[in-house]
Chains A and B, each alone.
Chain A
Amino acid sequence: MIKVFIADDEEPARERLKELLGDIAAELPTSVVGEARNGLETLERLPDSGAELLLLDIQMPGMAGLEVARHLASLPEPPTVVFVTAHDRHAVEAFELNALDYLLKPVRAERLAAALKKASVPNREQLAKAAQNAREYISVSERNRIVLVPVREIIFLRAEQKYVTLRTRNREHLIEEPLVSLEREFAASFVRIHRNCLVARAAIRGFERGADGDDEPHWVVVLDGLEEKLPVSRRQWPALRELVAEK
């Protein structure tokens, strides 16, 4: 008996999948352990449902399916994922390219059965390549929960030995993603100020001369909403100065 979770924003679409699961039950017994109407709901409900397999619509409000899958991958025991889409040429290309399982709506019973049998747990890399847009949230795993931090609330990301510290106005989290890939993904909203630090462009209030003027002068970033000031490396300064000029 496979425990299945269904995520789709359209009620008729969820009903249809349940009907089809019923049709193939003789061949492949399943039980539906949970449903969700959007991406955030999926992340909220799925971990406690004990689902082994997720039928995931990729066009959902709140958070698109691909991003949902990326966050799920950070669970200790992520479910197998089968993507479902009505029509999204780009997504389908990305799926093919990255060997992810997907179904096209309307779904046929035979195709569903086949997909359930061969479905696998997508790994982070496949998912990262399949998703074309920067995430809207960064997930922090805390035991069997997924804590989502909205990217627009992040003030800076700083690499510290093994981890990256993610700083919001109120909290700090540790994540395990390399700073380089974060920089690439969020190039539109974050800027590198130092070898080990990315700052949200929107959070930069200005620049000041560093106070500890012992050897050579250096600059620090003044942030919106945080007392802490971050040092700017000499290498990054010319690019940042242009940023100030643009503002």
Chain B
Amino acid sequence: MASIGQSAYPDLLPDFRNLGVMARVLVAVNALAAAGVLFATPHPGGALEQFMSTAAYLEPLLLIALLALASLSPLLARLPYWSGYAAVVGIVVLLVALYNTLVVRLPADPPPLGAALALAALVAAGLLGYLRLLAKAYSPALVEARLQALQARIRPHFLFNSLNAVLSLIRRDPKRAERALEDLADVFRTLMSEPRQFVRLADEISLLERYAGIEQLRLGERLRITWELDAAPTDALLPPLVLQPLLENAVFHGVEPGTAVGEVLVRIERRGDRVLARIENPYVADQQRRVGNRMALENIRERLALFFDAEARIETSADGRRYRVEIEMPYRSEGA
């Protein structure tokens, strides 16, 4: 059994498909090249020219390497960390060797093969080390964000009201009471599970449905949820507890404070390589309940940023009658 601090977040190779990772690699390699050129050129005047010719050699190579790593990323991610590490360095060295011998004929003088290979290995190893440190620096933040999410998530209000609703069913409708308790157990099992990096969308959806079942019991006809899940990519991976808090917010802010029937919409779909989720609820002006909502949203935004870097976004909008939260994130699946 893994203890929390140690292996909740084991070392993982960076996801080379992530734009943020690509950008960091591009910037770092070019900065190194610029520094190298500055040191090697005797006259500062010649530095720019020298850098241009270095870039002409370097940029195509860099793009090829990034493309190769991005397409191999799912395979690499399955290796144990240090084997993956060696594989990445190996791939880079191999690419440089091929590039140097087969492709580069255009610039005046490509660097000598031996030096190029050594340099490539060093840079690749160094960058991987840097990205690993970066991930390490983030993982306490991840655990923290996760814990905060948990605390913000278990609204005592929800727990006690649900228990009360179940109590009222025990005599009248024991079967339904049983189902409600099972739902409640499932919801809390998920909430209290070991921190995980990703869950399948199917799991998050089933959490949504169980949660909705309990709320339905409590609120009856006051809560009407429309599910649009036909185009939902059930195998997509996403950080846990990204959608359920949003549905909980929709009920808490949009349905409970209102006296009319509260229409809630849950729509999840895949568009190309993006996953889109939208949750809508009636807009009810109720200043007392506003604060909690912003905290939950900030928390989800933070976690999406930690998992998907710059590639995910979460936006809210309100038009006086309806309140909307939309999430867009890259489509990643276990198989891919």
Contacts and interface: CB of A to CB of B under 8 A. Distances in A.
Interface string A49-62: 00000000001011
Which secondary structure dominates where chain B touches chain A? Answer: helix
Contact of B171 (A10, A13, A19, A86): A19
Nearest to B156: A87
Contact of A86 (B160, B172, B217): B160
A18 to B, nearest CB: 9
13 contacts: A9-B256, A10-B161, A10-B165, A12-B169, A16-B164, A59-B157, A61-B257, A86-B156, A86-B164, A88-B157, A106-B160, A106-B164, A133-B288
A38 B163 CA distance: 21
A20 B218 CA distance: 18
Interface in A39-69: 40, 59, 61-62
**For the side of the interface on B, what is the size category?**
20 to 34
A19 B157 contact: no
B168 A15 contact: yes
Nearest to A86: B160
Interface residues of A, number: 22
Contact of A10 (B219, B257, B258, B288): B219
Interface string A11-47: 1110110010000000000000000011010000000
B46 interface: no
A19 B168 contact: yes
B217 A12 contact: yes
Given A13-B165, A87-B156, 7 more contacts: A10-B165, A12-B217, A59-B256, A87-B160, A106-B160, A106-B164, A106-B167
A122 to B, nearest CB: 21
A105 interface: yes
A137 to B, nearest CB: 15
A37 B220 CA distance: 12
Interface string A79-111: 000000011100000000000000011110000
Interface in B148-204: 156-157, 159-161, 163-165, 167-169, 171-172
Contacts of B172: 15
